[in-house]
Amino acid sequence: MKLNLFLLIFNLFIIISSLFCFNPIGLKNDFIREMEIKRRIQLQTKIDKPKLKWTEEWFDNVPIDHFSSEDSRTFKLRYLINTDYFKYKDAPIFFCLGDEGGIDDSTDYNGFMVETASEFGAALIFAEHRFFYNTLPFGNETYTKATNMVYLSQDQAIADYVLLIKYLKEKRLVNAKKSPVITFGSSYGGELNAWMRLKYPNVTAGAIASSAPINYFINSPTLSQSSYYDVVMRTYLHYAEGRTFLNKNYHLSPLSQINDLNDAQQLIDVFTSTMIYSSRWNFNNFDLTSQFLPAVESCKAFTSAKTFEQFALAPYYTINMVYNWTGEKTTLHLWNFTKTAVVYDFYYAWCWLSCTKEISPYCARGPPYDVFERDCPFNLTDYFENFCMATFSKIGYTKDYFQPNWIIDHYGYDFKTATNLVFINGIYDPWSGGGWKQTTTNVGSVYNYMTDGGHTYDIHPSFPGDTKIIRDIRFKEKMHIAEWIHQAKLNSNTTY
């Protein structure tokens, strides 16, 4: 037992102490998406800034299918609006493209957009993505069959936003027919933002795409390397004493107990994903109230450990920091989530995107390239059969819905022809590997790299502990926005 414990803790020490010497590669760990949604909701109560009042409104008669003249069905799209700063004719409109995260918490989460609106006198719009949260085209039947879910796609969602912008300018807002529209989006929303700028450049004056992994699709290069991380963990979990030790000292809830070897992969996935999560959110206002770097905090328990028991418990402090960063939980519920939870439906919708067109082949190459369990090369067949079919076959999903090349064919990888589009990526963000990293000679099309930031750091609210680098990047973003608005005002004959 002691030998196996030593093998486990020694390898965990090596893994964690060297983790942030590498650029982590994203893994297929499903709970990260759910954790991010929950984190956004929790952040609402943490932001100590003046609160704007938001009005919930619904945009009627949105086509179920924008691209078929034979389908006349429509639905209502939800959005939030604030016009406190919108005081003069043809003032700008700041429009946030909804993503899988919901819009109620996005008004706080996208603090940069809200704060900047006061400087430009802009109206603020947060549009909800079809099939997420309250915008359910088929009501309670939305998720029940594939023939409904097929209308959940990137191109349909972007077309929704185009129609909503037109409605806002022509009918909803007063004296806004020539108002320049600046769009904002992060992560998946950043992808939508960039694609919308490519496909509908006449609709907007410019776009800020934060942490948008627009190149993270099927032909991303990967290398195969070996790893023994899972074997070491399984060795430890083979023993009853080890399982009891972990269940007790990791404060695992009754629903997330380690009872047998089948639970080994659960703990491996949680630990690995926790480290990825810490990397993605590695900036010094992680919880918008404290000045600490999650990646640095993750290492402290390992570097200070002196005994076998301390080494074995070191991963717990990292897991607890991410899952219990408010400090309110007495036990950790890490797997076996109930499928009736509120978040599940929206996670289910995201999984549909991941099994139709938003298929990102991210995987770990293993040592010496990274410290994670090797699962490269990405296997499309396994992914389709073991994840997509397992998740959606019961509602009529077939291989016809599986379109891994659609993004490449429809939008492409090359953004050299794009104008008035700014990409931002953070050095600690695993998704940055799929970001656009070229600066072109086209007007306003640039790329910036946050050398001390994580996922979507630039679009968060300003914070006293923000570094000079992030303050400079936000200043540059404002300069681009000002130039785009100026261009739009000069070119009054162009439809913006």
Choose among 183, 193, 184, 197: nearest CA to 213: 193
Choose among 364, 217, 343, 378: nearest CA to 276: 364
Tokens (6 digits) for 52 = 């704007």
Confirm whether 455 is a catalytic residue. yes
* Calpha distance 130→343 (Å, rounded): 16
Beta carbons within 10 angstroms of residue 119's beta carbon: 11
Strands (E), 202-276: 206-210
Catalytic hit among 106, 179, 187, 432: 187
Catalytic hit among 210, 211, 354, 455: 455
Confirm whether 273 is a catalytic residue. no
Q: What are phi and psi of 59, to 5 degrees?
A: -95, 115
* Calpha distance 306→302 (Å, rounded): 9
**How crowded is the C-beta side of 80, counted as CA atoms within 13 Å?**
18
Catalytic hit among 99, 269, 429, 466: 429
* Calpha distance 1→310 (Å, rounded): 16
Beta carbons within 10 angstroms of residue 472's beta carbon: 12
* Calpha distance 153→57 (Å, rounded): 23
Beta carbons within 10 angstroms of residue 486's beta carbon: 12
Do the beta carbons of residue 137 and residue 131 sit within 8 Å? Answer: yes
**What letter does residue 477 receive in the DSSP assignment?**
H
The residue type of 399 is K
Residues forming the active site: 187, 429, 455
